[in-house]
Amino acid sequence: MLQFDERADRVVPPTGFTARLTLFSAFAMSFLAVFALALSLAAGRVADRWGNELAQSSTIRISAPAGEVATQTEAALRVLRTTPGIVDARALTLDEQRALLSPWFGADLPIDDLPLPQLIDIIETEDGYDAAGLRLRLAAEAPAAVLDDHARWRRPLIDAASRLRLLGWASILLIATAAAAMVTLAANAALAANAQVIAVLRLVGAKDTYIASAFVRRFALRALTGAAFGTLTGIIALVLVPSGSETAGVLTDLSIQGIGWVWVVLIPPLSGLVAFVATRYAAGRVLEDLA
Amino acid sequence: MIELENVAYSYGGGELLTDMTLNVAPGSFHFLTGPSGSGKTTFLKLCYGALQATAGHVRLFERDVRGLSRDDVAILRRKIGVVHQDCQFLDHLPVTENVALPLTVSGQDPDGADANLKELLAWVGLTGRANALPPELSGGERQRAALARAVIMSPDVILADEPTGNIDWEMSQRLLTLLVELNRMGKTILIATHDLGLIRAAKAQVQTRVLRISNRRLQMAGADL
A112-125 pLDDT, tens digit per residue, is 777 788 999 998 88
pLDDT value for B140: 86
Same domain, B56 and B129: no
Section A280-288 average pLDDT: 88
Same domain, B51 and B20: yes
Q: Which of B125, B153, B181 is the last residue of a domain?
A: B153
Same domain, A40 and A176: yes
Same domain, B69 and B178: yes
Contact B167, B175 (CB under 8 A): yes
For chain A, the DSSP string reads -----HHHHHTSPP-HHHHHHHHHHHHHHHHHHHHHHHHHHHHHHHHHHHHHHHHTEEEEEE---GGGHHHHHHHHHHHHHTSTTEEEEEEPPHHHHHHHHHHHH-TT--GGGS-PPEEEEEEE-SS---HHHHHHHHHHH-TTEEEE-SHHHHHHHHHHHHHHHHHHHHHHHHHHHHHHHHHHHHHHHHHHHTHHHHHHHHHTT--HHHHHHHHHHHHHHHHHHHHHHHHHHHHHHHHHS---GGG--TTTT----TTHHHHHHHHHHHHHHHHHHHHHHHHHHHHHHH-
Same domain, B179 and B213: yes
pLDDT value for A3: 60
Same domain, A166 and A284: yes
Q: Which of A91, A108, A143 is the last residue of a domain?
A: A143
Same domain, A128 and A29: no
Q: Is residue A44 part of a domain?
A: yes
Same domain, A124 and A98: yes
For A108, the domain range is: 64-143
What is the C-alpha separation between A165 and A253, in angstroms, rounded? 13
Predicted complex ipTM: 0.87
Q: Which of B108, B138, B153 is the last residue of a domain?
A: B153
Same domain, A178 and A217: yes
Total number of domains in chain A: 2
For residue B186, give the CATH number of its domain. Answer: 3.40.50.300
Q: What's the mean per-residue pLDDT of chain A?
A: 84
Of A250 and A47, the one with more pLDDT: A47
Q: Which of A8, A200, A205 has the CB atom closest to B88's CB atom?
A: A200
Burial class (CB in 10 A: 0-12, 13-18, 19+), B185: exposed
Same domain, B72 and B115: no
Q: Which of A112, A143, A174 is the last residue of a domain?
A: A143
By C-alpha distance, the chain A residue nearest B88 is A200
Q: Which of A143, A170, A205 is the last residue of a domain?
A: A143
Cβ B90–A8 below 8 Å, yes or no? no
pLDDT value for A53: 67
Q: Which residues contact B211 (CB under 8 A, 6 or more apart)?
A: B22, B30, B31, B32, B33, B218, B219, B220, B221
Q: Is residue A116 part of a domain?
A: yes
Same domain, A17 and A121: no
Same domain, A19 and A81: no
Residue A170 pLDDT grade (very low, low, confident, very high; cuts 50, 70, 90): very high
Same domain, B104 and B135: yes
pLDDT value for A54: 67
Q: Is residue A21 part of a domain?
A: yes
Same domain, A37 and A178: yes
Same domain, B129 and B24: no
Same domain, B176 and B209: yes
Q: Which residues on B lie below 8 Å from A203 (Cβ)?
A: 50, 77, 82, 84, 88
Q: Which of B153, B174, B204 is the last residue of a domain?
A: B153
Total number of domains in chain B: 2
pLDDT value for B119: 86
Same domain, A252 and A196: yes
Same domain, A194 and A256: yes
Global pTM reads: 0.72
Q: Which residues on A lie below 8 Å from B89 (Cβ)?
A: 200
pLDDT value for B124: 87
By C-alpha distance, the chain A residue nearest B48 is A203
Same domain, A27 and A83: no
Same domain, B63 and B125: no
Q: Which of B74, B101, B110 has the CB atom closest to A207's CB atom?
A: B74
By C-alpha distance, the chain B residue nearest A199 is B88
Question: Could you give the 3-state DSSP secondary structure of residue B46?
Answer: helix
Residues of chain B with pLDDT under 50: none
What is the C-alpha separation between B121 and B86, in angstroms, rounded? 19
Share of chain A above pLDDT 70, in %: 91
Q: Is residue A153 part of a domain?
A: no
Q: Is residue A150 part of a domain?
A: no
For B195, the domain range is: 1-79+155-225
Q: Which residues on B lie below 8 Å from A14 (Cβ)?
A: 92
Q: Is residue A121 part of a domain?
A: yes
